[in-house]
Structure 1
Amino acid sequence: MDRVSTATLYSSLVGNLMTAQSNQVSAANQVASGKVATDLQGFGSQAQTLTAMQTVQAQTQSFLDQGNAISAKLTSQDTAFTQISNSMNDASSAISSALATGSGSNIMQSLETAFQGVVAGLNTTFNGQYIFSGGQVNSPATSATSLASLTSAPSVGSLFNNDQYVASNQISQNSTIQTGFLASNVGTAAYNAFQSIESYVQTNGPFTSPLTTAQTSFLQSTLSTFQSAAQGVTTVQAQNGLLQTEVTNTQTDLTDQSTTMQSLIGNITDADMAKASTNLQQAQLALQASAKVIASLQSDSLVTLLPVH
């Protein structure tokens, strides 16, 4: 008589059931998340490669974020340079107008307004910090308040509060640029031009209408000083523009790198959704089949084979 035993069969069927459950969970997770796995262990031999790619991607994104902040600061600097340059041009126009009309009645009022524009430009802030103050970002770049302050201060240089620190920023793995400008470098020539007129008025009295020969001669000689100072600001603004172009080009390269790296990472992490759906259906069928076989096996017993007395 053959020996009848169900223990081994039960063990095998339970194993199949557990495997089917595991496969169903794995396939369901892939369908739900769109990813091959939710942890590095699930990527097996590709885990180390994936970690390295993600590290590079994180570094690239960090440079992109920093580049955006640098670009915004450079834009603020460009706006400030435009304000300073326009104010210097306004001052030159006021002098030219006085010379053309032979009247000095309104020249100092116009120059005062232009000077205030220069001061405001030098004291421009970005994210609450003074951008032309060097390392002294919490202090205004210049303490000048009016044309009168140019002659009351010990010197023009004493009106600038910046130190000599020039900000530098790393915009990519292999590129670092100096993005900072100092108020003393940008504004000294302009301040000297304004001071020369203020000193003249304090020494010789206000400009008259009509202008005297001496006043006319002085303004003619001073006009070139203002024009030269304005050109100096334009030169600095052009340097800032070159930095903006370099940052923009670097950001474009980094964006391309990020897109490529993201694609490579996706090749490892992104699940084949069609395959995942098929695997899920197969796992569900296998689970149902295993459960059905176990249920049917429960009715197989020696008791059912024994005759009833």
Structure 2
Amino acid sequence: MVTRVTTSGNYSAVLTNLLAAQQRQADAGDRVSTQRNGQNLKDYAKSSELLTAMRTVQTRVGVFQDQNSLIADRLANQDASLVRVADAAQSIRERMADAIASGRVDGLVEDIQAQMNIAVDSMNASYSGKYLFAGGQVDTKPVTASTLADLTVPPAVIADFFKNDDFKVKAKLDDATSVTAGVLADDIGTDLLTALQTFQTFNQGPNGPFTGAMTNAQKTFLEGQLASWNTIRADVTLIAAQNGTNQKRVDDVATDLEARQTSLTIMLGDITDANMAQASADLEQASLSVQSSAYVFQTLKSSSLINFLR
């Protein structure tokens, strides 16, 4: 059998090789320039379902990361406020102990008022324009008492000074972990304001006011108050510790989410990211093929079977 050799057949074969080499060159060039194996899911037909699923998971993890960042900031602000309330309770206790030791109560009322201001301001702390300890009433200041005198104005019911409701913020940290991040002002300050009310009632009573040298009645009263302030400080510190436990859980989940995000990024990269060494080699090889095919095509143009038949 004799294979027919024609000029048109040779042109067709060489042109086909040239176009194929140019396509390989373009594909390799795209991989080198974009560092990707494709531009859309169509280019990853064999792995499209896997890529879609992985990107869905990656988006979900990203949402959890954003939410956890907000929760972590909230908990950090709550911690700072709770520590200030506990410190204020400790300072009141120390000021009373100092007065007992010195036998004088000069400035005692003013010092306790200053610590009350710190405690109330801390319970009225806000984050992103919303009150932290107000429950669901985020636009309403949770503690309305501002002075010792407020605490003894009839009917002077301590619960009336708190405007928070019972709602506590809960957050889902990931698919399996949730925390109760909210703390309520009345949980923090009911005992504190009650003790301050007791102090102010005594200060306004027949054995007051607290000025100058301490009387026996005042000494007995203050000595009886020390244990209460120890308990108040301890209780607020316990709430702060529980808040700290939630901070630790958020940090642990954040670390896990970061690891999952990194793993997903690597897995996606294994599918979508080009092997640059291979892509560069393919580009070089395709460029040589284009040059060779072009040279053959150019040579064929200057030759003809007619020249051999003459």
Q: Distance in 1 between matches of 2:116 and 2:71?
A: 28
SS at match of 2:171: strand
Q: How far is the alpha carbon of 1:194 from its aligned partner? A: 0.7
Q: How far is the alpha carbon of 1:44 from its aligned partner? A: 2.8
Contact 1:89 1:227 in 2 (8 A): yes
Q: Distance in 2 between matches of 1:277 and 1:74?
A: 51
- Matched ranges for 1:1-309 at <5 A: 5-152=6-153, 154=155, 155-204=157-206, 205-301=208-304
Q: How far is the alpha carbon of 1:13 from its aligned partner? A: 3.2
Q: Which amino acid aligns with 1:170?
A: K
Q: Distance in 1 between matches of 2:149 and 2:211?
A: 19
Q: Distance in 2 between matches of 1:8 and 1:161?
A: 92
Q: How far is the alpha carbon of 1:190 from its aligned partner? A: 0.6
- Distance change >3 Å, CA 4–CA 172, structure 1 → 2: closer
SS at match of 1:83: helix
Query: Identity of aligned pairs, percent?
Result: 33
| Unmatched segments (≥5 aa) in structure 1 | none
Aligned length: 306
Q: Distance in 1 between matches of 2:148 and 2:11?
A: 99
| Unmatched segments (≥5 aa) in structure 2 | none
Q: Distance in 2 between matches of 1:182 and 1:266?
A: 46
Q: Which amino acid aligns with 1:57?
A: Q
- 1:191-220 superposed Cα distances (whole Å, 9 cap, x missing partner): 111111112222333113322222222222
- Distance change >3 Å, CA 17–CA 3, structure 1 → 2: closer
Q: How far is the alpha carbon of 1:139 from its aligned partner? A: 2.5
Q: Distance in 2 between matches of 1:17 and 1:159?
A: 87
Q: Which moved more, 1:109-118 or 1:58-67?
A: 58-67
SS at match of 1:211: coil
- Distance change >3 Å, CA 232–CA 296, structure 1 → 2: same
- 1:216-253 superposed Cα distances (whole Å, 9 cap, x missing partner): 22222222222211111011001011111111111222
SS at match of 1:172: coil
Contact 2:144 2:161 in 1 (8 A): yes
Q: How far is the alpha carbon of 1:3 from its aligned partner? A: 8.0
Q: How far is the alpha carbon of 1:62 from its aligned partner? A: 2.2
TM-score where L is the length of structure 1: 0.91
Q: Distance in 2 between matches of 1:146 and 1:116?
A: 8
SS at match of 2:205: helix
- 1:121-174 superposed Cα distances (whole Å, 9 cap, x missing partner): 111122222111112222222122221222237422222221211001111111
Q: Distance in 2 between matches of 1:176 and 1:3?
A: 78
Q: How far is the alpha carbon of 1:302 from its aligned partner? A: 6.9
Q: How far is the alpha carbon of 1:65 from its aligned partner? A: 2.4
Q: Distance in 2 between matches of 1:43 and 1:99?
A: 80
Q: Which amino acid aligns with 2:283?
A: L
Q: Distance in 2 between matches of 1:120 and 1:22?
A: 71
- Distance change >3 Å, CA 235–CA 288, structure 1 → 2: same
